[in-house]
Amino acid sequence: MSESPAARLQKLFEGHRLTPTQRRIAHCMVRGAAEVPFLSSVELAELAGVSQPSVTRFAVALGFDGYPALRKHLREVAPAERAGAAHEDAYNEYQQAVQGEIENLRRLSAMLADPAPVQEAGRLLAASSPLPVLGLRAASSQARGFAYFAAKVHPDVRLLDEGGSMLADRIDAAVAAGASALLCFALPRHPKEVAEALDHGRAAGLTVVTVADSAFAPVARHSDLLIPAPVGTGLAFDTACAPMLLGRVLLEAMADALPDAQARLEAFDARAAARGLFVE
């Protein structure tokens, strides 16, 4: 499978120490990888919500003489024309949002060509008992969905989907009970509380595995292992099909690392049948 423009951009940014403003530009470029080679520095600055000089400094930080050199490079490594440009006008705004999510899933698929990070995450999550799963605000549904299914194969899953002063206490309680890792779902807009909770968990000895919308998300520096899954931005509120699917992939990897996962699933099915829990 050939790399997508987003994957090639991701590789371009890897290995560079970027400032928060530069990470914001990089994140914006990855999300709009097919369009970026056709944007001026002013247009990119407006899209990322930064100043035009910031875009120039960003290009220099990547090793280019300036933004024109960076854009020339992007045009050489990107497709010759905008992806899907011939069909864009045929889609209404709702279809465009769906098409954007399809592209996000393609990017996720390309990333999973190397399964090592997900497999490592699965081992870390399987080895942690209890397993705290954190997700606040926009990410709470992702955390809750993961925790619901994880509880069927993992002996002790603890959902952390509410902030406040009790959050650090609940992380401390999980550590005291034997937790060695914490899984975090972090989506825009990123609550300050999430970064603080991750720092608290790491200071307490937890290994933090994070699913975020980008490798350049603000939580990146607060995580030990971050696996990105892009969100859709075509509607008034972001859509998170790729993060949800990545969560299910992590569930699979965790179950593969749990020796009694299948037995737990069969025991749950037997109990559910005995209780008449589901309508057949």
The span from the CA of 93 to the CA of 96, in Å, is 5
- What is the per-residue pLDDT across 135-168, written as a single tens digit (0 to 9) for each? 999 999 999 999 999 999 999 999 999 999 999 9
Q: Quick one: pLDDT at residue 170?
A: 97
Please state the rounded mean pLDDT for residues 84-90: 56
Q: pTM surpassing 0.85?
A: no
Residue 151's pLDDT is: 96
> Which two tokens mark 25?
């530009």
pLDDT bucket at 89, cuts 50 / 70 / 90 = low
Cβ-contact 184, 209 below 8 angstroms? yes
Cα separation, 220 vs 211, in Å, equals: 10
Nearest-angstrom CA–CA distance, 205 and 207? 7
Average pLDDT over residues 199-203: 97
Buried/exposed code over 206-245 (b: 16+ C-beta within 10 A; e: otherwise): bbbbbbbbbbbbbbbebbbebbbbbbbbeeeebbbbbbbb
Distance of CA 179 to the CA centre of its chain: 22
**Tell me, what's the pLDDT at 49?**
86
Cα dihedral 176, 177, 178, 183 sign:
negative
- pLDDT, one tens digit per residue, over 221-279 is 999 999 999 888 778 888 999 999 999 999 999 999 999 999 999 999 999 999 999 98
User: To 5 degrees, how large is the angle CA 196–CA 198–CA 203?
Assistant: 95
Residue indicated by tokens 């997508």? 4
Query: Token pair for residue 65?
Result: 């003489």
Lowest mean pLDDT among 33-37, 97-101, 132-136, 177-181: 33-37
pLDDT tens for 34-86 read 788 888 888 888 888 888 899 999 999 999 998 988 988 888 875 544 445 44
> 10 or 277: whose pLDDT is higher?
277
Which residue type is seen at 182?
L
* Neighbouring-strand partners of residue 134: 160, 184
Residues 93, 159: Cα–Cα separation, whole Å: 35
Quote the DSSP letter at residue 232: B
CB atoms within 10 A of CB 194: 25
- Does residue 91 contact residue 99 with C-beta atoms inside 8 Å? yes
Judge contact between 35 and 82, C-beta under 8 A. yes
pLDDT for the residue 30: 81
Q: Rounded to an integer, what distance in angstroms lies between the CA atom of residue 42 and that of residue 88?
A: 24
Q: Are 75 and 35 in contact (CB under 8 A)?
A: no
Name which residue leads in pLDDT, 35 or 122. 122
Spatial distance between the Cα atoms of 191 and 196, rounded to a whole number of angstroms: 9
- Calculate mean pLDDT across residues 91-98: 84
